[in-house]
A and B are shown apart, each in its own frame.
Chain A
Amino acid sequence: MIAEASANLAIELNGVTRRFGKATAVDDLTLRIPQGHTFGLIGPNGAGKSTTIKLLMGILRPQVGYVRILGIDVFAEPSRMKKRVGYVPEVPQMYRWMRVGELIGFCRAFYPTWNDDECARLLDLFALDTGKKVRHLSKGMAAKLSLVLALAHDPEVLILDEPTSGLDPLVREEFLDGVLGAVCKHQRTVLFSSHALEDVHRLADTVGLLYEGRLLLHRGVEELLTSARRIRAVLRDGCLPRYEPPGLVWQHIERREWMLTVSEFTPDLLQTLRKENDLEHLEVMGLNLEELFKDFVKGRKKTT
């Protein structure tokens, strides 16, 4: 039963901890992503996103726990794992003295599954000049080449570390087109970290929020937007909230105004709030992903 469940997992981190000296970058992290899902990893700077991705790629070794991709232990069998995974690092790491065409030939040799047609299609889509030296490529061009190299061997899993950060809006769109083309391929799994919450809304089936090395939240994007709400209540003079609703993400009281963000809104919740508190006024608003992300982080900061 358990073996069967893990067979359908594309990505699995189990109780993973990674410390650097006294600082804990990733803290007992468990994350399971089924095959065919697109997962967006979000979190403030220093939350452990890049460390998590480096642990996934076997670049860093976990001190506790294990990491598996497609059932393969990434530390025990890194080369077997890498043949089936495409990786776009935060900063493209490519031989800068090679020409684009030479670099492609060089990488091609490592992968028995290299797909020349797909490689040519992507080079064409991105209008990449194979005669150009890598060091002469603009930031956007280098990012696109990095994506071509990650996709041309038809990987089953694609992992991207803040792929669109620092790209201009046009290049970003082209890059997204490339990633979307990859998402459309049957059963391919994608994990990407990002600060661009709009990209997460566009691309991701599920989103995970990392904070201080822990996963605060892991849910379907559309489901999250559907069930989360901001509530604005006005308290009667001299009254304080007596009842805090379940799924409270963040709250703030200033004068008579009581603002709350809840992750599991139901109409019944309003009834209960009204019944349990002395309220003059109550209204409900939707939140976009960015507002929700901020509220989750602010709510956590207050409690710690």
Chain B
Amino acid sequence: MKIDPSSHVPIYLQIVGEIRAAIDAGVFRPGEMLPSLRVLAADLRVNPNTVQRAYDELEREGIVLPRRGVGLFVADRDTRSARGEAEKTVLAAFQRGVQVGQDAGLPPERIRAVFDQALDQALRKGRTRS
């Protein structure tokens, strides 16, 4: 794994890209554990907080799953691709929404505000339900 501190790309995003590529290439297989924060930070010579940020991002994307007190494990391909498929569906729905907005003559900042509103409402609803 290699990172370039002279790049304009923040190091945490470089790490996300490197790990994603390593998983795709089979360096890490589903069910295997990623190196610990400290180990990877020392290997790459970067601040451990930066590795933490990269790991948070990978977890958010569903590429890795945490096992409490143990570490992060590579998710199996089905879980990963299911999430990828879901995101594609969501994107297509959003694109249709954007088109509706543009046809109605809404400026982009209004369209974005409407999305934020929809998301906020859904999250609020979820909270009152649980």
A286 contact set on B, CB distance < 8 A? 8-9
In contact, B8 and A225 (Cβ under 8 angstroms): yes
In contact, A201 and B45 (Cβ under 8 angstroms): no
Interface range for B: 20 to 34
In contact, B11 and A222 (Cβ under 8 angstroms): yes
A291 close to B (CB within 8 Å) = yes
A 187-215 to B, binary, CB cutoff 8 A, 1 in contact else 0: 00000000001110111110000000000
**Which of B8, B38, B41, B46 is within 8 Å of A288, CB to CB?**
B8
The smallest C-beta distance from B82 to any residue of chain A, in angstroms, reads 28
Given contacts A177-B42, A268-B109, A271-B108, contact A202 B8 (CB under 8 A): no
In contact, B5 and A205 (Cβ under 8 angstroms): no
In contact, B49 and A176 (Cβ under 8 angstroms): no
A251 to B102, CA, bound (A): 33
A282 contact set on B, CB distance < 8 A? none
The smallest C-beta distance from B15 to any residue of chain A, in angstroms, reads 11
Given contacts A177-B42, A221-B10, A271-B108, contact A202 B49 (CB under 8 A): no
A222 to B7, CA, bound (A): 12
**Which of B6, B12, B42, B47 is within 8 Å of A203, CB to CB?**
B47
In contact, B41 and A180 (Cβ under 8 angstroms): yes
**Which of B11, B38, B108, B109 is within 8 Å of A202, CB to CB?**
B11
A 151-187 to B, binary, CB cutoff 8 A, 1 in contact else 0: 0000000000000000000000100110011011000
A166 to B62, CA, bound (A): 44
In contact, B42 and A222 (Cβ under 8 angstroms): no
| Chain A residues close to B by CB (< 8 Å) | 38, 173, 176-177, 180-181, 183-184, 197-199, 201-205, 221-222, 225-226, 267-268, 271, 285-288, 290-291
Provide 11 A-B residue pairs closer than 8 Å at the C-beta atoms, listed in order of the A residue.
A38-B47, A177-B45, A183-B48, A184-B38, A197-B6, A202-B45, A225-B10, A267-B108, A271-B108, A285-B8, A290-B6
